[in-house]
Amino acid sequence: MARAKQPKQIHQLTVPQFEAMFPDEEACCAYLVGKRWPKGVHCPRCGATEPTELKGNPWHWQCYECAPQTSYRFSHITGTIFENTNKPLRDWFKVIHLILTSKKGMSARQLWRYMGFGSLKTAWYMAHRVRAALADKEVDKLGGIVEVDETFVGGKAKNRHDRWGGGGTGGVGSGKAVVAGAVRRKGNVVARVIENVRAVTLERFVNEAVSHKVSLLITDQWVGYKHLNKEFPQHVTIDHARGDYVVGAIHTNTIEGFWSIFKRGVIGTFHNVSKKYLPLYVAEFQFRCNNRENVDIFGTAISGC
């Protein structure tokens, strides 16, 4: 008899779990120190171990390695996104928790109301710093079966012509931003704002995101992908123009699923975002997607702060 289906492991903290983990500011400080320095506190400037604890000033240390005379003083938040703000860590943690648990993201306005901050600007600023922290510092190139596609975001409706007609190539002058994405089936997504959908730009993206050891590289028949075969003999295309959307394993439904969540977030939650901040939203959606089964998604997020 087949085994009973196991309930899916919960990877996001519930509010009661959050409250139990972080009852006060002290608990947040201790958690941050543990995530930041799992092998014990290090000087953020020179990396020296075992700095001296500053007496009477909890969560502060001084390092004599990089400043033997005067000592260099630092705290648990030195060099993190939490530095130079007057918000307690517990507020930051709540904001991060809210962002991570909202599938389509949370607008600054929502955060502002929910957190009861004095100004919208505070919420906006905090959310953007969190997004920057969620951005992957380094990306492992994708292998296995990989789908590549790109999508347009924003811009004036009259300029939003299809790339197949009207000669629309996005980028300069069109008012649209282009986001390129590559996803490994059942694996990670790499998404990035790019200049346009010309071949040279798309090829550069694919080379940065996809391993040459990929077993199958799937795109649609956009001319910009036409010459990928030179570097990726595993490249195959799906003919959307002919109405083909799935031919066996050859489809781009996975990346299109990611675009769908991303666009519902950008259009629905954020009511379109300026090109300037688009990379931050891309980073946020990429992080949530790539950590969708991470049982310590909150800890991973804090480690990047």
Nearer to Zn ion, 70 or 119 (CB): 70
Binding footprint of Zn ion, residue count (CB under 5 A): 7
Strand pairing class (52-53; 145-153): unpaired
CA distance 285 to 282: 5
CB 71 within 8 A of CB 63: yes
Shortest reach from residue 63's CB to Zn ion, in Å: 3
Nearer to Zn ion, 51 or 105 (CB): 51
Distances (CA, A) of 144 to 207, 211, 215: 15, 9, 5
Residue bearing tokens 């919420």: 123
Residues 180-219 as x/- pattern, contact with Zn ion by CB under 5 A: ----------------------------------------
Side chain identity at 199, as an amino acid letter?
A: A
Shortest reach from residue 70's CB to Zn ion, in Å: 11
Shortest reach from residue 74's CB to Zn ion, in Å: 8
User: Contact between 109 and Zn ion (CB under 5 A)?
Assistant: no
Nearer to Zn ion, 45 or 128 (CB): 45
Token pair recorded at residue 198: 């010309």
**Angle, CA 198 vertex, CA 196 and CA 201 arms, to 5°:** 75
Return the residues of window 16-75 that contact Zn ion according to CB under 5 A: 43, 45-46, 48, 63, 65-66
CB 153 within 8 A of CB 268: no
Nearer to Zn ion, 66 or 120 (CB): 66
Shortest reach from residue 83's CB to Zn ion, in Å: 17
Closest CA to 155 of 261, 257, 267, 262: 267
Shortest reach from residue 72's CB to Zn ion, in Å: 5
What residue ranges bind Zn ion (CB under 5 A)? 43, 45-46, 48, 63, 65-66
